[in-house]
Chains A and B, each alone.
Chain A
Amino acid sequence: MATSSTTFSHFLPHSISLSLSKPKLHFKTIQPIRATISSNLSDPLVLQIAETFEDSLSLSSSTTTPSLQKLRDTSSQSILSLSWPTVKDEPFRFTDTSFIKTCEIKPVSSIPIPSSSIPSELNDTQFANLVIVDGHVVSSYKISEFPKGVFVGSVNDIDSEVIKKRVFEFVSDFQDGDLFWSLNGIGAPDFTVVYVPSDCKVEMPLHFTFFSSESGDIGSKVLPVSNPRVLVLVEKGGEIEIIEEYFGADENQCYWVNSAMEVLIGEGGKVTHSYIQRQGPNSAHTKWTFVRQEAASTYKVVEISTGGTLSRHNLHVQQVGPDTVTEFSTFHLCVNDQTQDLHSRLVLDHPGGTSQQLHKCIVAHSSGKVVFDGNVKVNRYAQKTDAGQLTRSLLLEPRASVNLKPNLQIIADDVKCSHGAAISDLEADQLFYFRARGIDSKTARKALVLSFGAEVMNQLPHKSLRLKIEDHVKNLLTPVL
Chain B
Amino acid sequence: MATSLQFQITSTARFSSFKTAPSNSTSNSRSITIPSIGRLTSSCCINYHRQPLTAKASLSVELPTTSAKDIDGDSSKILLEVKDLTAVIAETKQQILKGVNLVMREGEVHAVMGKNGSGKSTFSKVLVGHPDYEVTGGTVIFKGENLLDMSPEERSLAGLFMSFQSPVEIPGVSNIDFLHMAYNARQQKLGRPELDPLQIYQIISPKLELVKMDSSFLNRNVNEGFSGGERKRNEILQLAVLGAEVAILDEIDSGLDVDALQDVAQAVNGLLTAQNSVLMVTHYQRLLDYIKPKYVHIMEDGRIIKTGDVSIAKLLDKEGYKAIA
Contacts and interface: CB of A to CB of B under 8 A. Distances in A.
Contact of A401 (B10, B14, B33, B156): B33
Contacts of A6: 9
B27 A443 contact: no
A445 B41 contact: yes
B28 interface: yes
Contact of A411 (B6, B28, B29, B170): B6
A15 B172 contact: no
Interface string B9-40: 11111110010010000111111111111001
Contacts of A428: 40, 131
A420 B156 CA distance: 36
Interface in A413-446: 413, 417, 419-423, 425-443, 445
Interface string A396-414: 1111111111111111110
A10 B242 contact: no
A443 B186 CA distance: 13
A14 B162 CA distance: 52
24 contacts: A10-B12, A12-B10, A13-B8, A15-B28, A16-B26, A16-B28, A93-B27, A398-B33, A398-B36, A403-B31, A405-B28, A413-B5, A423-B18, A423-B34, A425-B40, A433-B167, A433-B168, A435-B151, A436-B153, A436-B162, A441-B43, A442-B41, A448-B172, A454-B221
A4 interface: yes
Interface in B157-200: 157, 162, 164, 167-168, 170-173, 177-178, 181-182, 185-186, 189
Given A411-B4, A443-B185, A454-B171, A435 B152 contact: yes
Nearest to A424: B37
Interface residues of A, number: 72
Given A403-B29, A437-B182, A447-B173, A2 B14 contact: yes
A405 B168 contact: no
Interface residues of B, number: 59
Given A15-B8, A426-B40, A439 B153 contact: yes
Contacts of B222: 433
A34 interface: no
Given A437-B242, A439-B185, 5 more contacts: A15-B10, A406-B10, A410-B6, A433-B170, A452-B172
A455 interface: yes
Describe B's contact surface by its main secondary structure: mixed
A444 to B, nearest CB: 8
A380 B3 CA distance: 10
Contacts of A438: 153, 156-157, 182, 185-186, 189, 242
A450 interface: yes
B42 to A, nearest CB: 8
B131 A448 contact: no
A419 B40 contact: no
Given A436-B156, A437-B238, A427 B168 contact: yes
A426 to B, nearest CB: 6
B31 A412 contact: no
Contacts of B168: 427, 429-430, 433
A343 to B, nearest CB: 12
Interface of A: 2, 4, 6, 8, 10-16, 90, 93-94, 373, 380, 391, 394-413, 417, 419-423, 425-443, 445, 447-448, 450-455, 458
Contacts of A373: 29
A93 B29 contact: yes
Interface of B: 2-15, 18, 21, 26-37, 40-41, 43, 128-131, 151-153, 156-157, 162, 164, 167-168, 170-173, 177-178, 181-182, 185-186, 189, 221-222, 238, 242
Given A90-B27, A436-B152, A451-B172, A11 B7 contact: yes
A125 B7 CA distance: 46
Contact of A417 (B9, B10, B131, B173): B9
A437 B178 contact: yes
A202 to B, nearest CB: 30
A451 B40 contact: no
Contacts of B151: 435
A15 B181 contact: no
Contacts of B41: 441-442, 445
A408 B32 contact: no
Contact of B2 (A94, A407, A413): A413
B9 A10 contact: yes
A364 to B, nearest CB: 10
Contacts of B5: 410-411, 413
B2 A409 contact: no
Contacts of B36: 395-398
Listed from nearest, the 4 A-B pairs whose CB atoms lie closest are A451-B172, A454-B172, A438-B156, A421-B11
Nearest to A410: B7
B2 to A, nearest CB: 6
A403 B2 CA distance: 36
Nearest to B8: A15
A400 B15 CA distance: 16
B43 to A, nearest CB: 8
B181 A434 contact: yes
A269 to B, nearest CB: 30
B28 A407 contact: yes
Given A396-B36, A404-B32, A441 B6 contact: no
Contacts of A431: 40
A375 B151 CA distance: 45
Nearest to B151: A435
A321 B9 CA distance: 25
B128 A409 contact: no
Given A401-B32, A441-B153, A436 B128 contact: yes
A423 B14 contact: yes
A16 B27 contact: yes
Contacts of A396: 36-37
A15 to B, nearest CB: 4
A397 B171 CA distance: 23
Contacts of B182: 434, 437-439
Nearest to A93: B29
B28 A12 contact: yes
Given A422-B14, A423-B18, A432-B130, A11 B29 contact: no
Nearest to A455: B171
A406 B9 CA distance: 8
Contacts of B130: 432, 436
A90 B238 CA distance: 52
B92 to A, nearest CB: 16
B40 A441 contact: yes
A11 B182 CA distance: 47
Contacts of A454: 171-172, 221
A425 B29 contact: no
Contacts of A427: 168
Contacts of A394: 37
Of B18, B153, B182, the most chain A CB neighbours within 10 A belong to: B153
